[in-house]
Structures are given as C-alpha cells and as structure tokens.
Structure 1
Amino acid sequence: MNAYDFDKTIYENDSTVDFYRYCIRHNKKVLLALPKTGLYGLAYLTGFCDKTTFKQAFFGFLKYLDNPSSTVDAFWRCHTHKIKACYLKRKRPDDVIISASPEFLLRPVCGETVLIGSRVDARTGKFSGKNCYGQEKVLRLLERFPGCTPEEFYSDSLSDTPLAQISQRSYIVLGEKLIPWAEFRKGKA
C-alpha cells in the first residue's frame, strides 16, 4: 500500500481553501460566518484554541449552503483537473489517501480509494474527533489498518513526518517533483 496526503500532494492547491472560495463565489451567504472564523483564527494564532476548534469554527460556513452534497459535486466538476499527473501515473488500487481535509469534501473525487480524513459534518461543520493532522494521521491509519507499514508515503509537508517515519520510503512532493524525505529534511537543516 502507498499512502498519500491530498492537498498540494495529489491536488495542486488546498482543496478546502478552493472549496471555500467556490462557495463564496456561488453563495454570498457563506460570508456570514466570516466574523466567527476571524475571531477563532486570531484565537488559534495566539494559542487560545487548538487547530480542530479553529477549523470547526471555519467550517461553520457550511450551514449557509442549501445542499452541501450538491455543492461539493459541483465544485469537483470544476476542479478535478487540478489532480496532479504525477499521482495519476502512480495511482494503485490499494492506495490510501489520508488528509486533514474533510472526508465529505474529498470522497467524491477519491471514488473507491480508501480515504481517511477529518470527520466533519457537511451540514454543520462540526468535527467528530480530532483534525486528521500530524500524529493523528498515524493513529487513524493504524486504527483502520493495524500494524500496516506503507511502502511509500507522499506529502508536501514536514508536518507529516510521523507518517513518513512509519513508511518504508517517503517523499516530499513539490509541484510534480518528488524529493526523498531525508534529502529534503537535510536541505532544510
């Protein structure tokens, strides 16, 4: 099995940010959530709340969508072209995609591929569990596949080091370029 982060690894950008922008363009009501998002963003940046709490406040904009499921489907009809060619060439049936992005957002584009993401209610923005980030990705992967060791792991971020450490080989993805994890870390030191 190979494991992949999603945003900026398989997908060119951050899918959550792109989805939020898409929602603003198509439904100005989502801007009503902006004051709360700003307040929690400041609280997160100053250490008064954790990332999951901030992201739950951010996803509060979902309650302003009439039909979140159809909005997600419409979003992917316009954004599937941002799936990177380097992933499509390596894609295997036993891949696992593990992301901090919400499962409801990624499920339509991931299809039958195993997906482990943040568990967020698409209607309310409420999390059930922690943001799937850093060490939480390892815990969630091992919960789903006890004792597994991914053959290869791909990510754009050193925040995924815990998952890279349990994988046989790991790579940083910069655009379409792959850099062995250890080599990339050396260059950052």
Structure 2
Amino acid sequence: MRVFDFDGTIYDGESLFDLYLFSARYDAKVFRHIAPVLRYAIKYKLGKATLEQMEHGVGKVTQRYLRDLSGSKGIDDLRVAALGEAAKAGLGDDVLAGDAAHSIAKAKSDDSTGGLKSLVSAFWDRNMSKIKPWYHPRPDDVILTASFDVTVGEACRRLGVMRLIASTINPETLEVTYLNFNTNKPKRLREVLGPDAVIDEFYTDSKFDQPMIDMARKGFMVKGNTITQVK
C-alpha cells in the first residue's frame, strides 16, 4: 500500500488556497478570506502553528468562507448552469423522469454547501493538469491530506483513487468536524485502515509528516518532480 500527501506532493501547489482564488472569480467578497488562509498555510508549512491553533483558526475561516458561498449569486448561477448541463445530457433520476426544473430546484435546496460541489467540479476541470506527471495511481493507493474531503475527493474520483483520508466538514452546519493535520494524520489513518495497516511507501513534501514516515517501510520526500528516498 502506498500513501500520499496531496498538496505539494502529487498536486503542484496548495489546492485549498487555489480553490479560494478560483472561487473569487464568481464572488469577489471571498477575497476577504484569502489572507487568513494564506497565513495559516504558511504557518503550517513552517511548523509554526500548533494543532489546536490550526483546528480553531482554519475551522473559523472555512466556516465563514462556506457561508459566503452559500449566499453567493455567482456560485448559485454556476450550480444552476451545471445542473442545466446535466439535464441536457439526461443525467440524474429526476431528469430521466423528465422533470429537469424539479431536479434543479431539489438540488438547490439539498445542497447545503451552497454550490460547493459545482464550484469544486469546475475547479478540477481547470486544475487536474496540476497533478504531477510522475504520479500514476494504483488500486491500493491512499491519499492522506489536511485538505477537505469535499474538495480533494473530486480529484481522487477523477484519478480513480478510491481511498481518501482528509479533513471533514459538516454539510449542515458548515463546521470543520475533523482537521487531518500533523499528529491527527497517523491517528486517523489507523482509525480508518486499522491499527495493523502496513504502509509500504509514504510520500510527502513536508518534514512535519515524520510520524507517517516512521510508520512506513519506505519514506520519500518530494520537491517539485524530484523524489528522494529518506527511509
């Protein structure tokens, strides 16, 4: 089994920060969240933020951001456009029943993240090219990331990677329910895969993933497209 960090490892950049920037084209008010997100990303990379600070700070910023999206006309228009395309393609049970308008209304009322799924889909249409060329998915791969399941999950689906262990968001309250960061990573991996899970190879771009390297039979540091075995 191979386990991969996502941002900076197989994705060229920080996907959550890139998503913030991408969403600003649909609603400029999300720019007010850019500085806090960048600040926490830098602290994370430099190891200057404690787990408690990250959980509190990132949780609050993310919740405010998602609340802005939930009331955004630009994001809502994106969602309706995506649903319209699905209707034209004959996708979805309601559409197949011939009631496209009902399908759109139902999806709008059910999507408590305010169009996040449509935004994420449009984001990955544009950014899948940032998956590094050296990464070739295998059936038993695991993506282990501090980014959110609702964002990285779509990239994993497109890559054909079935196992994702990520930070999570409550779709009803828009609160961060688990931040898969630092020492939470090996803890969560053991919870999901079991205490006896064997990691043959672990790949990361951060020295702060040392606990995961220690768990693995082989560990690799990634810088750009250069991979160096460190264990």
Q: What TM-score results when the alignment is normalised by the length of structure 1?
A: 0.83
- Please give the per-residue CA displacement for 1:130-178, whole angstroms capped at 9, x wherever unaligned: x211221101111111111210000000111101100000000001111
1:7, 1:68 → 2: CA distance?
Answer: 19
**Alpha-carbon spacing, 1:61–1:124, altered in 2? closer, same or farther (3 Å):** farther
Given that 2:40 and 2:54 are in contact with CA atoms closer than 8 Å, whether structure 1 keeps it comes out as no
1:126 corresponds in structure 2 to: 175
Given that 2:213 and 2:219 are in contact with CA atoms closer than 8 Å, whether structure 1 keeps it comes out as yes
**Alpha-carbon spacing, 1:23–1:92, altered in 2? closer, same or farther (3 Å):** same
Amino acid at match of 1:7: D
How much does 1:39 deviate? Answer: 10
Unaligned runs of 5+ in 2: 70-113
How much does 1:27 deviate? Answer: 1.2
Amino acid at match of 1:27: D
1:116, 1:37 → 2: CA distance?
Answer: 21
1:72 corresponds in structure 2 to: 120
Amino acid at match of 1:103: D
**Alpha-carbon spacing, 1:126–1:10, altered in 2? closer, same or farther (3 Å):** same
2:31 corresponds in structure 1 to: 31
**Alpha-carbon spacing, 1:46–1:72, altered in 2? closer, same or farther (3 Å):** closer
**Alpha-carbon spacing, 1:25–1:162, altered in 2? closer, same or farther (3 Å):** same
Unaligned runs of 5+ in 1: 183-189
How much does 1:121 deviate? Answer: 3.5
Pick the aligned partner of 2:53 from 27, 50, 53: 50
Where do 4+ consecutive residues of structure 1 move more than 3 Å?
31-41, 44-47, 121-125
Given that 1:97 and 1:116 are in contact with CA atoms closer than 8 Å, whether structure 2 keeps it comes out as yes
1:159-174 superposed matches below 5 A:
159-174=208-223
1:1-189 superposed matches below 5 A:
1-31=1-31, 33=33, 50-59=53-62, 60-65=64-69, 66-88=114-136, 91-111=137-157, 112-121=161-170, 125-129=174-178, 131-146=179-194, 147-182=196-231
Aligned residues: 176
Q: What TM-score results when the alignment is normalised by the length of structure 2?
A: 0.69
In our comparison, the structure showing a higher alpha carbon Rg is 2
2:127, 2:23 → 1: CA distance?
Answer: 13
